[in-house]
Amino acid sequence: MKILVTGSTGQLGQELRRLAMQYDDYQFVFTNTDKLDLRDMPHVSDFIRYEGFDWIINAAAYTAVDKAEEDRENAFLVNSRAVFNMVQAAEWIGAKFIHISTDYVFDGKKAQPYTEQDTVNPLGIYAKSKAEGEQYVLKYNFGIVLRSSWLYSEYGNNFVKTMLTLAEKKQEISVVYDQVGTPTYALDLARMIMMIIEKHENEQLLIQPGLYHFSDEGVASWYDFAQAIFEYTGKEIKLFPIRTSQFPRPAPRPSFSVLDKAKIKSLYKVDIPHWRDSLKKALARLV
C-alpha cells in the first residue's frame, strides 16, 4: 500500500515520518514544498496520478495565521485551491484522502464543545481558507476531514517551544487567559491518522467519509498551558494572565474552541490521552 504525506517537514508530517518506521508493509512518500509545491497544481496533479497512491494525507497548510491577513492569495492557494486540485487527482485514481483542518473555523461564541454538526463561522483569512478547503474534501466519497486544535510537538514552531525560549530570556511572561481550547500533541494526531488507515486496511472497515474532530482530552487556556509547561520543566517563571485585548494580533482568534470528539471515539474505539499527560511525554523528548 502506498501513502503520500504532504507537509512532511511540519509538526504533523515529522511525527508521521517517525511512525512510518513501524509500518514495514506500507510504502510512504513524504513530500515538502521543495519536492512538491502544492501551488504548482498541474505538477501536483500529474505526480499524484502517476504515482498511484492508495491514501493521501494532506498535512500541508499555510499556517501563518497573522501573516495570512495580508497574504490572502497564498493562504487560499495552499489551504483551499490546492486542496481542490489534490482531491480531483485523488478521485481520478480512487485514493482515500485525509485532510487536516483546524478549530479556527469556529468563531468561539459557543459555550459548549463544538461538534461536527455545528456551523462554522471563520473569523480571519487563515480560518476562512481552511473552512473553504474542508468543503472540497467533504464532497469526495473517500474524503475525511480531521479538525484538530493547538498543535505542538518537538518539531517546528509552536507554543511550547516559544514558552521555553522565552523562559531562557525572561523571568516574567504574560499569557492570554481568555482563549480556551485543548492543546494537542502532534504525535497523538499522527497516531489517530494511522489508526484510521489501519482500521480500513487491516480490519476491512468500510471507510466512513466525512468530518471528525480530534484533539487531546481536557480543556485549557493558553495561560493554563503555559503554567503546565513551566511546572513540568521545573522553571520558576512568573506568569501574568492577560486578556486578548491586551495582546492584539492581526488575525482574530476564537475565544472558545474546545472540540467534541464523541464521533471519532465511537467509530474507531480510540482512547485519547489527556493533554497534560501528552505534554509530559513531549517535554521529556524536548528538554
Question: Which of 200, 198, 247 is closest to 222 using CA atoms?
Answer: 247
CA dihedral of residues 112, 108, 131, 214 (deg, nearest 10): -40
- Are the C-beta atoms of 49 and 118 separated by less than 8 Å? no
C-alpha cell at 151: 498543535
- Are the C-beta atoms of 238 and 226 separated by less than 8 Å? no
Q: Which of 126, 136, 152, 155 is catalytic?
A: 126
Annotation marks residue 126 as catalytic: yes
- Residues recognised as catalytic: 126
